Structure 1
Amino acid sequence: MTRPAQRFSPLDPASPEPIYRQIYWRFRSAISEGILAPGDRIPAARALAKELGLARGTVDTAYSLLTAEGYVQPRGQAGTIVTAGISLGMDSTQGALGVGETAPIRDKPPVLPFQMALPALDAFPRKIWAQLGARCVRATRVQDMALPSVHGLESLRTAIATYLQVSRGIDCSPAQVFVTSGYRNTLALIAHTLLTPGDRVCVEDPGYPPTRQLLSQLGMEPVPISVDDDGMRVDQATGNGLGARAAVVTPAHQSPLCVSLSLPRRLALLDWAMQQNAWVVEDDYDGEYRYVSRPLPALKSLDRHGRVLYAGTFSKVLFPGIRMGYLVVPPDQVQRFEQMGQLFLGGCPELTQAIVATFLTEGHFARHIQRMRKLYAQRREDTVRGLKKALGEGFRIDAQPGGMHLILRLSEDKSDTGLVSRLRQAGIYAEALTGWSIENATGPALLLGFANIESEDVAEHLGRRILALMS
């Protein structure tokens, strides 16, 4: 018999658990508690969606999970039934749940205020993502469950190439695109393919710490190059007989100072790479988010001699938990990267790639970027106003053309590392700018992510807590 939807506890729209997960857990609990017995027919997805006032795709996603884990079985026109012979016992985690509670699949600490490297998670279109995920699960064929291509799903590589041509001015084919499991995987693949232990690699100073840490672990020698208002001092990288084999740069928004690499320096860097037969790794981690004008064309778009390797990521534009990046290599290097990719790629699930490919090809990605660009511009403005209200005129916030974090300058007698430690203990995230430097003194400052600061009032309240911890 079919059990009615009203037998289950009500859904909570304010819960951090997605609605489809709440439905999933309610059916699991009902099966475990004997409310639903083996052989019972559960409501049709269409009927349950109508009863609960939900989109059909939300219920379909929940039912797909229940089916995949063996709790229910579809029987065609006979409907979907609870699997015969299924165990009714609750595990220890489920038995501890109260009435109306849902069990967390992943127990993670909450996002801290000002947390770096996080997009606006509250504004991500999770319902659309869930619907696309359910569709991709339903469309899975037998051959889709075989070993995936280590280079990435063809449809995703095509979608990325199309996007880069339109939005970043990069002329590339899908064959030049390699899907990776994030920036570290991308950089490691480049190093294994084009460099050898002992090679010198120019890195920005201050710069993203994992870059120099990874290069050092791979046996390379990171060479710090200072940064000013026009970006990396390319004259330092190209002069003094450094003999560097590569340079890693963040030209759109230098990490962490957020300045842009000027056009003369971009051209000088490309000339150096051509003359020295060296490589330029362009880390374009958040180039879409520029607020004073249109996003700058990628450095790769100026490359006429095949010396630039373009590294992109979905962590900043979608969410970090996706663990997906991509790399665009010069045409004459495709075969070398294909060979090395057999050893060092293949860590990104193909189902996730299929969802991202659909997200891109159906236009959701472009619309999401446009919405986030407006949202971040507003949140940056609100955060700056709120902090200035709380901190007064004795503190300076750097003017930046884009990016997803602020630089709050401290007086020279303050220790940014000490303050960061106190802030973390108080539940506020920050990073010390001095921790991003190798040789070049930048002065004490806090790096504060603003993408998840929802209002000026919130920023002002946090600013007062920061001020109290400074004394």
Structure 2
Amino acid sequence: MRSQFSGTLIALLEEHAVDELPISIRIQNAIRRQLGNGSLKAFDRLPSTRLLAKELAVARETVEFAYQHLEAEGYLIRERGSGTFVSETGAQLAIFQASPGRKLRNLHLSDRGKKIQRAGGVQDPLPLPFSAAFPDVRSFPIRLWQQTASRISRRLGSNALAYCDPQGFYHLREEIARYLGAHRGVSCDADNIVVLTSSQEALLLIATMMLDAGDAVAVEDPCYPGIRSALTVSGAVPVPIDVDDNGMVVETLLRRTPAPRGAYVTPSHQYPTTATLSLERRLALIEWAKVHRSFIIEDDYDSEYRYDGAPISCIQGLDTSGNVLYVGTFTKTLFPGVRLAYLVAPYHLVPAFVGMRTLVDGHSAVFNQAVLAEFMATGEFTAHIRRMRQLFKARRDAFVESAERHLAPFGALRVPAGGFQATWYLHDGHLEDEVRRRAEQERIILPSLGNLFIKRRNAPGFVLGFGGLTPQECDAAVKRLARIIKNVRPK
């Protein structure tokens, strides 16, 4: 006659048959569940391996393996000549593990952890209409990338599976240096480039290694929220500096006493206003950093995509004092999943950044770095940038035309000279919350412009991303947004 233990065990095994685990492991898990729900208690005797194997219709060795493993973990005690029993410790452990709500109640975050929790993470954009800073991955030459990856796989073999220099794959650093020198005016070589996973990682490394608690850092206002989070969790204090049509108002920064420890700018294409920092202000910012021995973080996140005129040369190339930390990413130029970015730093700081990087994620994947290095060396990267610049310019123009036709009665659009998004200022600020709520119900993302300010501002409006939308998709989304606004009435 089948024992109550065996019957319950068989029922649990059948219930979890879809687990596709080896039968010996499923037996172990089923016994643990019986311990956890109290069906088995301390000192209860289990059937012999011979009997249980017969009732389960499995090999005796299978049950023997399960018992041995549970004995090694401390759940069971086996006594020669007497049998197999539930240990007192094992019964208590199983009940505790079955009640996860009781765990970790006495653990608390550190003050730094609480700051990080309050600051929140950086949300990746969603592939939905008007999600800001989202590139069009559908237009990426995936077959060409696959062909390059195939060549690299044959060339590297098992070396692609190994660890990598935490500073980055050397050939990729060489190609990045060539590209930046030729197309962005950056003064660098492979030795002062650190390959990272993301530009956000670069900002966090800079904040961690360059700032002490209480240090002030001048930040564009409005600004990219990732820099605010990086500064806040490091204990630094973001100091908001207004932005106008010529970028950060550097004149305001020059008047601040004492001078901030550093300054963060997106000079080629200010996020989110799309303004370009004028040459006069770039030179003034460089001189300010030189005089006060401060540093400049230049976030060059999408400078390749400038549609009206040639891309603007970077601040780093104008600086002769070594005070600029230059940050770039391949997320926008290639695709988000490549997970590669870079930091150009003064030579003497590179070892410190690399050392800190080893504490964060060690290194970026060798294979992706090697594929990208080949992609750049063959000229495919620059050819891809040229194609994408034409594509996104056409999308920018289509978006502007559609927005001016359907959204003009409700707000004012700032036409961007480049990038993937535009700022749109809402005439009636009372409508903002309701418009955003109804848009989300229709799967339209409307990032709030006001949320990007450090100082409280009455700046109702949205950052509208268009880069990931075809002209047809964009026109349809603009019409849907216009219809939503028409149907919203101020409370």
Preserved contact between residue 306 and residue 331 of structure 1 (Cα < 8 Å): no
Q: In structure 1, which of residues 149, 164, 167 is the aligned counterpart of residue 183 of structure 2?
A: 167
Match status 1:149 vs 2:165: yes
Match status 1:465 vs 2:485: no
Q: Which moved more, 1:374-383 or 1:195-204?
A: 195-204
Q: Quick one: which amino acid aligns to residue 462 of structure 1?
A: A
Following superposition, the deviation at residue 341 of structure 1 comes to 3.3
Q: In structure 2, which of residues 190, 212, 216 is the aligned counterpart of residue 196 of structure 1?
A: 212
Preserved contact between residue 179 and residue 324 of structure 1 (Cα < 8 Å): yes
Q: Which moved more, 1:196-205 or 1:301-310?
A: 196-205
Match status 1:260 vs 2:276: yes
Preserved contact between residue 125 and residue 134 of structure 2 (Cα < 8 Å): no
Q: Distance in 2 between matches of 1:109 and 1:148?
A: 29
Q: Quick one: which amino acid aligns to residue 277 of structure 1?
A: R
Matching residue of 1:445: 461
Q: Quick one: which amino acid aligns to residue 450 of structure 2?
A: T
Q: Mapping of 1:415-454 within 5 angstroms?
A: 415-439=431-455, 441=457, 443-454=459-470
Matching residue of 2:76: none
Following superposition, the deviation at residue 109 of structure 1 comes to 11
Q: Secondary structure at the residue paired with 1:432?
A: coil
Following superposition, the deviation at residue 463 of structure 1 comes to 1.9
Name segments (4+ residues, structure 1) moved above 6 Å.
none
Match status 1:363 vs 2:379: yes
Unmatched 5+ stretches in structure 1? 1-107
Sequence identity of aligned pairs in percent?
36
Following superposition, the deviation at residue 394 of structure 1 comes to 4.4
Q: In structure 2, which of residues 316, 333, 336 is the aligned counterpart of residue 317 of structure 1?
A: 333
Q: Mapping of 1:265-284 within 5 angstroms?
A: 265-284=281-300
Q: Deviations over 1:352-384 (max 9, x none)?
A: 111111111111110011011111111111111
Following superposition, the deviation at residue 245 of structure 1 comes to 0.7
Q: In structure 2, which of residues 291, 304, 317 is the aligned counterpart of residue 288 of structure 1?
A: 304
Q: TM-score, normalised by structure 1?
A: 0.74
Matching residue of 2:192: 176
Match status 1:115 vs 2:131: yes
Q: Secondary structure at the residue paired with 1:367?
A: helix
Following superposition, the deviation at residue 461 of structure 1 comes to 2.3
Following superposition, the deviation at residue 155 of structure 1 comes to 0.7
Q: How many residues align?
A: 363
Matching residue of 1:326: 342
Q: Distance in 1 between matches of 2:274 and 2:458?
A: 14
Q: Secondary structure at the residue paired with 2:316?
A: helix
Preserved contact between residue 386 and residue 460 of structure 1 (Cα < 8 Å): yes
Q: Which moved more, 1:274-283 or 1:193-202?
A: 193-202
Preserved contact between residue 134 and residue 465 of structure 2 (Cα < 8 Å): yes
Q: Quick one: which amino acid aligns to residue 292 of structure 1?
A: D
Q: Secondary structure at the residue paired with 1:210?
A: helix
Q: Distance in 1 between matches of 2:351 and 2:290?
A: 20
Q: Distance in 2 between matches of 1:177 and 1:234?
A: 28
Following superposition, the deviation at residue 395 of structure 1 comes to 2.9
Preserved contact between residue 183 and residue 312 of structure 1 (Cα < 8 Å): yes
Q: Distance in 2 between matches of 1:196 and 1:394?
A: 45
Matching residue of 2:413: 397
Q: Secondary structure at the residue paired with 1:326?
A: strand
Following superposition, the deviation at residue 184 of structure 1 comes to 1.5
Q: 1:329 to 1:417 in 2, by over 3 A?
A: farther
Q: Secondary structure at the residue paired with 2:157?
A: coil
RMSD: 1.9
Q: Deviations over 1:77-109 (max 9, x none)?
A: xxxxxxxxxxxxxxxxxxxxxxxxxxxxxxx99
Unmatched 5+ stretches in structure 2? 1-123
Q: Deviations over 1:212-250 (max 9, x none)?
A: 012101111111111111111112223231431111100
Preserved contact between residue 272 and residue 422 of structure 2 (Cα < 8 Å): no
Preserved contact between residue 431 and residue 448 of structure 1 (Cα < 8 Å): yes
Q: 1:264 to 1:109 in 2, by over 3 A?
A: closer
Q: Distance in 2 between matches of 1:407 and 1:466?
A: 15
Following superposition, the deviation at residue 417 of structure 1 comes to 4.0
Matching residue of 1:24: none
Q: 1:129 to 1:272 in 2, by over 3 A?
A: same
Matching residue of 2:425: 409
Q: Mapping of 1:1-400 within 5 angstroms?
A: 111-400=127-416
Q: TM-score, normalised by structure 2?
A: 0.71
Q: 1:310 to 1:110 in 2, by over 3 A?
A: closer
Following superposition, the deviation at residue 449 of structure 1 comes to 0.9
Q: 1:454 to 1:363 in 2, by over 3 A?
A: same
Following superposition, the deviation at residue 389 of structure 1 comes to 2.4
Following superposition, the deviation at residue 277 of structure 1 comes to 0.8
Matching residue of 1:55: none
Preserved contact between residue 309 and residue 329 of structure 1 (Cα < 8 Å): yes
Q: Secondary structure at the residue paired with 1:302?
A: coil
Q: 1:407 to 1:168 in 2, by over 3 A?
A: same
Q: Distance in 2 between matches of 1:415 and 1:157?
A: 49
Structure number, greater radius of gyration: 2
